Chains A and B, each alone.
Chain A
Amino acid sequence: MSHHQATGGRILTIPFLLLSLLALAAVWILGERFFYGLGSVTNINDGFPWGIWVVYDVVVGTGLACGGYVLALTVYIANKGRYHPLVRPALLASLFGYSLGGIGALVDMGRYWNFYQMFNPSQQNYNSVMLEVGLCVSAYAIILLIEFLPVILEKINADAWKRKLEKVLFVFIAIGVLLPSMHQSSLGSLLIAMGHKVTPLWQSLHLMPVLALITAILLGFSIVIFEGSMVSVGLRRPSESHLLTGLTKIIVGLLVLYLVIRFADLIMRGALGHAFAGDLRGNMFLIETLLFVVPLVILAQEQLRRRGPYLLVAAVSLILAGALYRFNAFLIGWEPGGGYVYFPSAKEILVSIGMVAIEIVGYLIIVKTFPVLPRVHGNASGAHA
């Protein structure tokens, strides 16, 4: 008997329909983009070649999809088996996050029909961080699918296949930990080559990959807490706080490590002064830092981190912090010089919202029909969700 179960319940709920509508709007706008070009729906321009489609859908989106990565690391590498129940939902969210990140990258790609050239060894440029990110993300999306395959096999009762797969699954798990370590750090390295166009508060040069990797892991852990909390609330399932609390120790450690490296770097580069310039960038940095500090304060306290609501607040704060760090580094702190300005257009934002909507809609369908969430003992299952 499996440890997981489909929650069942009606799929066509009102939130589901609303989200589907948002997803459709995004698809419609993307149609426009493919007929008339990127400029017809986005505000990206010669000075801001990367807008929120890259920064949110890919850079932040895959960061938010690090749940599968960090849990694989925790459960299979650090062997904390008790977190096993969290793995499948996290994998599912990661699968969606990465697939949509990949799609986001593809729709933002100006010459998407040449995408295959990234896999053409005679064209690959091994100096390019982008190549590594592109290959790694593509590979990881496939790995995630394989890691999730047992769920599907379980659903269709292909037990023999499932057993065979599970024998070799450790290979994919290992690769599934390696790949995000590589490309999540590389998302930071992407910015090194941009030099002075990334303002000093965020241009850490050699330290970019380190900071990006730590924030990715932090995002992964906090998204696991966030999803766990939301599933409890949204699908009326028992609280998983007792499990989630265990993750907070490593979060606190990583947070401290992150803040130490971040500020040491800023001070050594003499860039900390920009934080108090009183301008948009300085203020965004202060907000970003505050969002990193709030979860540290909450999670450092024994009685607070044991309580679901506080845990959720800390997780949300940390998610916003990690996301804002990436937004700041890629967009808000972006200084191409000259008279270039950028703010995402309404259509651009709608597409990003639509991506999130697709993610939630897909997640809901699958947890209701596939054995993803841990089996609830007793009869408290989500029959009434």
Chain B
Amino acid sequence: MNNNELQQVADRLGVSRRSFMKFCTGVAATLGLSGGAGIQMAHAVAAAKRPTVIWLSGQECTGCTESLLRSSHPALENLILDLISLDYHETLSTPAGHLAEDTRHQSMKENWGKYVLVIDGAIPMKDGGIYCKIAGKTIHEHVVEAAEGAAAIIAIGSCASWGGIPAAGINPTGCVGAHEVLPGKTVINIPGCPPNPYNFLSTVMQLVTFGTVPELDQEGRPKFAYGRLIHENCERRPHFDAGRFALEFGDEGHRQGHCLYKLGCKGPETFANCPSIEFGDVGGGAWPVGVGHPCFGCTEKGVGFTKGIHQLADVLTVRPPNTYPDIAEPVGTGVSAGAAALLGVVGGAVVGATAMAVKQLGRIEKDEAEASSADQTDNG
């Protein structure tokens, strides 16, 4: 593989070679890898065989797909479609009906054990899972079947990660996240509503280039994207620290760009890289907090779609609270050598002077007693 091939890939994608390299380096940076990894990725992408991706949709709104497609970077949708071989995607497939199903089965068979399975949308389980069916089978069955031959499984969006919107409130269809129906398998969760396409793409690129899964947190989320609390990287943080808050939409504090905590911002309990890469691929400082709406907590199970929108967030960074003064902080100066020595001298002087005086007083009284007895003798 040489520069010529890279040029060919760039031509195929309809971008300049320079833009292509920039993209790969950007992805590598998102992953927290070195610039060299970007070049490796460029080469991996340029290699003949693109990884096969099977995309299954459960109870979803197509938001995740739309997010991937609507991007302002140079022809990102092209990059996505050309970086990977998206063999099955209900929204994007050219074929339909039985033809689409056949293509999928064909592809799965050919790439058994090698393809990447992407799931978006929640998986209903109530009443035998009848609330979401494709080609006469429940999505549950589809997912379990496809997962068998997958090299890696990615759950994209909050719904696929833990149930998301369909699981909100009373959860009428009894839906769950993908990992719950695939026990024993590693499922990479990319939550968000929708998630930033970079977080998805970067994960895929690592899988393709290195054949490895990014480091995950306990919620199955890649740490490179979900390792930091929004609150700690938020552009409005100084206002929180100074106690400047918006109380209502459009009030003085809101217009001044003050902290949105009192409006129910979930930044203090939500882990995501939104403050750095923002929302979608819109650019221009556009993410909820940036445009004046409190963070909704969409990447956090138990927060987004669970807590009330204006309910106050728990502030997680204070656990354990190691930057707070103790109840009893030491104040004051203890005994110094000089002070102790001085007190010793004073004590010694008192005792010494008393002892001396006692001795002399004894002598004086003795003399007086003798003198008076002498007087008496004289007088007598």
Question: Which one of B146-154, B206-214, B229-237, B323-331 is at the A interface?
Answer: B323-331
Query: Which of under 10, 10 to 19, 20 to 34, or 35 or more describes the interface residues of B?
Result: 20 to 34
**CB neighbours of B327 from chain A (8 A):** 338
Contact of B365 among A45, A239, A313, A320 (CB under 8 A): A239
**CB neighbours of B335 from chain A (8 A):** 343
Contact of A341 among B326, B330, B341 (CB under 8 A): B330
- A316-B350, A346-B336, A346-B339 given as contacts; is B358 within 8 A of A46 (CB)? no
A9: Cβ under 8 A from any B Cβ: no
B181: Cβ under 8 A from any A Cβ: no
**CB neighbours of B357 from chain A (8 A):** 229-230, 233-234, 312
**CB neighbours of A346 from chain B (8 A):** 336, 338-339, 341-342
Whether A341 and B331, one on each chain, are in contact in the complex, defined by CB atoms closer than 8 angstroms, is yes
Interface residues of A in 311-350 (CB under 8 A from B): 312-313, 316, 320, 337-346, 348-350
**CB neighbours of A312 from chain B (8 A):** 354, 357-358, 361
Whether B354 and A345, one on each chain, are in contact in the complex, defined by CB atoms closer than 8 angstroms, is no
Whether A353 and B342, one on each chain, are in contact in the complex, defined by CB atoms closer than 8 angstroms, is yes
B61: Cβ under 8 A from any A Cβ: no
Whether B336 and A340, one on each chain, are in contact in the complex, defined by CB atoms closer than 8 angstroms, is no
Whether A349 and B330, one on each chain, are in contact in the complex, defined by CB atoms closer than 8 angstroms, is no
B332: Cβ under 8 A from any A Cβ: yes
B374: Cβ under 8 A from any A Cβ: no
Whether B331 and A340, one on each chain, are in contact in the complex, defined by CB atoms closer than 8 angstroms, is yes
Interface residues of B in 302-334 (CB under 8 A from A): 326-334
User: With A and B bound together, what is the CA distance between A345 and B331 in angstroms?
Assistant: 15
Whether B333 and A232, one on each chain, are in contact in the complex, defined by CB atoms closer than 8 angstroms, is no
Q: Map CB proximity to B onto A130-166 as digits: 1 under 8 Å, 0 otherwise.
A: 0000000000000000000000000000000000000
B144: Cβ under 8 A from any A Cβ: no
A5: Cβ under 8 A from any B Cβ: no
Whether B334 and A309, one on each chain, are in contact in the complex, defined by CB atoms closer than 8 angstroms, is no
Whether A48 and B346, one on each chain, are in contact in the complex, defined by CB atoms closer than 8 angstroms, is no
- A229-B357, A230-B357, A312-B357 given as contacts; is B331 within 8 A of A307 (CB)? no
User: With A and B bound together, what is the CA distance between A307 and B362 in angstroms?
Assistant: 8
**CB neighbours of B358 from chain A (8 A):** 309, 312-313
Whether B339 and A343, one on each chain, are in contact in the complex, defined by CB atoms closer than 8 angstroms, is yes
**CB neighbours of B328 from chain A (8 A):** 337-339
Whether A343 and B365, one on each chain, are in contact in the complex, defined by CB atoms closer than 8 angstroms, is no
B92: Cβ under 8 A from any A Cβ: no
Query: Which of under 10, 10 to 19, 20 to 34, or 35 or more describes the interface residues of A?
Result: 20 to 34
Secondary structure call for the B interface? helix
**CB neighbours of A343 from chain B (8 A):** 333-336, 339
Name the residue of chain B whose CB is nearest to the CB of A350. B342
Whether A238 and B333, one on each chain, are in contact in the complex, defined by CB atoms closer than 8 angstroms, is no
Whether A338 and B331, one on each chain, are in contact in the complex, defined by CB atoms closer than 8 angstroms, is yes
Name the residue of chain B whose CB is nearest to the CB of A313. B358
User: With A and B bound together, what is the CA distance between A316 and B354 in angstroms?
Assistant: 8
User: With A and B bound together, what is the CA distance between A161 and B328 in angstroms?
Assistant: 63
Interface residues of A in 29-73 (CB under 8 A from B): 43, 45-48
User: With A and B bound together, what is the CA distance between A241 and B368 in angstroms?
Assistant: 11
A362: Cβ under 8 A from any B Cβ: no
- A239-B368, A346-B339, A350-B342 given as contacts; is B361 within 8 A of A340 (CB)? no
B19: Cβ under 8 A from any A Cβ: no
Whether A341 and B334, one on each chain, are in contact in the complex, defined by CB atoms closer than 8 angstroms, is yes
Whether B362 and A309, one on each chain, are in contact in the complex, defined by CB atoms closer than 8 angstroms, is yes
Contact of B332 among A43, A241, A308 (CB under 8 A): A43
**CB neighbours of B356 from chain A (8 A):** 233
**CB neighbours of A350 from chain B (8 A):** 342
Whether B361 and A309, one on each chain, are in contact in the complex, defined by CB atoms closer than 8 angstroms, is yes
Closest-CB distance, B360 to chain A (whole angstroms): 5
User: With A and B bound together, what is the CA distance between A346 and B358 in angstroms?
Assistant: 30
User: With A and B bound together, what is the CA distance between A232 and B336 in angstroms?
Assistant: 38
- A46-B331, A341-B332, A343-B334 given as contacts; is B365 within 8 A of A307 (CB)? yes
**CB neighbours of A45 from chain B (8 A):** 331-333
Whether B339 and A339, one on each chain, are in contact in the complex, defined by CB atoms closer than 8 angstroms, is no
B343: Cβ under 8 A from any A Cβ: yes
Name the residue of chain B whose CB is nearest to the CB of A353. B346
B75: Cβ under 8 A from any A Cβ: no
User: With A and B bound together, what is the CA distance between A169 and B330 in angstroms?
Assistant: 54
B81: Cβ under 8 A from any A Cβ: no
Whether B342 and A233, one on each chain, are in contact in the complex, defined by CB atoms closer than 8 angstroms, is no
User: With A and B bound together, what is the CA distance between A307 and B369 in angstroms?
Assistant: 11
Closest-CB distance, A52 to chain B (whole angstroms): 10
11 residue pairs of the A-B complex, CB under 8 angstroms, read A45-B332, A47-B331, A233-B361, A238-B364, A239-B365, A241-B365, A338-B329, A343-B334, A345-B338, A345-B339, A346-B342
B-side residues, CB < 8 A to A, are 326-336, 338-339, 341-343, 346, 350, 353-354, 356-362, 364-365, 368
Given contacts A233-B356, A308-B362, A312-B361, 7 further A-B contacts (CB under 8 A): A229-B357, A233-B360, A313-B358, A337-B328, A339-B329, A341-B333, A349-B343
Q: 9 shortest A-B CB distances, which residue pairs?
A: A346-B338, A343-B335, A339-B330, A308-B361, A339-B328, A341-B332, A309-B358, A45-B332, A349-B342
A-side residues, CB < 8 A to B, are 43, 45-48, 229-230, 232-234, 238-239, 241, 307-309, 312-313, 316, 320, 337-346, 348-350, 353
